[in-house]
């Protein structure tokens, strides 16, 4: 496993000091986006299973259909599992490997998923802060402009649990418990 110190030594610039660090709250599993994703996942899974189960049952009568059944039924079953449970497990894994930093110069979202990903913005370059309440007494903070639907839903409709650090768009701190403190700190540091 890794910790925040693994990032601090390599990602901070000379003389840059950390004023706040945190991680997304692991208890906040669902977002507003799940109001769309959960019903869609259940619908997809029902359709996938209604397609796969008869195909697998047909194998009793025709063993030659095995390659066809495996080629179509197994991927649909795997996608159904991911849609219902897998994406939530993936979201927890991403959150456990993500750290947020506010320094005297920048805001950073750092993660170790498939390599090290860093998304950073200098305090002077941050547009208006946008903050939306999430679940479990947490908030999501956007340090700059974001599409209205991302702000409303709290996540991507593609259900990357977080826009992966290093990706396009503003730096985002998802599911932060100390959101008011972070907003005040960033405002104070920008004035200096």
- Cα-Cα-Cα-Cα dihedral sign, residues 141, 179, 137, 119: positive
pLDDT digits (tens, 9 = 90+) for 70-80: 777 788 888 88
> What pTM does this model have?
0.78
Exposure class string for 39-62: b at 16+ Cβ within 10 A, else e? eebeebbeebeeebeebbeeeeee
Q: What is the mean pLDDT of residues 157-176?
A: 62
pLDDT digits (tens, 9 = 90+) for 96-145: 888 999 999 999 988 887 777 888 889 998 888 888 776 668 888 888 87
Between residues 8 and 155, the one the model is more confident about: 8
Helix (H, G, I), strand (E, B) or coil at 106: strand
pLDDT digits (tens, 9 = 90+) for 174-187: 888 888 999 999 99
Residue 165 has pLDDT above 70, yes or no: no
Q: CA-CA distance, 127 to 121, in Å (whole number)?
A: 10
Residue 2 has pLDDT above 60, yes or no: no
- Per-residue confidence (pLDDT) for residue 9, from 0 to 100: 66
């Amino acid at each position: 496993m890794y910790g925040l110190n693994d990032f601090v030594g390599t990602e901070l610039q000379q003389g840059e000091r950390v004023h706040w660090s945190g991680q997304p709250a692991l208890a906040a599993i669902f977002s507003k986006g799940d109001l769309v994703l959960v019903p869609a996942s259940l619908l997809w899974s029902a359709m996938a299973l209604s397609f796969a189960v008869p195909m697998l049952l047909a194998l009793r009568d025709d063993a030659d259909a095995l390659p066809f059944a495996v080629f179509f039924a197994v991927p649909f079953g795997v996608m159904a599992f991911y849609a219902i449970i897998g994406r939530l497990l993936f979201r927890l894994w991403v959150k456990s490997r993500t750290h947020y930093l506010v320094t005297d110069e920048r805001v950073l979202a750092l993660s170790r998923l498939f390599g090290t990903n860093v998304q950073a913005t200098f305090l002077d370059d941050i547009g208006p802060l946008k903050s939306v309440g999430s679940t479990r007494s947490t908030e999501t903070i956007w340090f700059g402009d974001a599409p209205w639907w991302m702000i409303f839903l709290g996540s991507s409709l593609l259900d990357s649990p977080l826009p992966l650090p290093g990706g396009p768009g503003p730096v985002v701190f998802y599911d932060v418990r100390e959101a008011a403190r972070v907003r005040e700190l960033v405002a104070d540091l920008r004035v200096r």
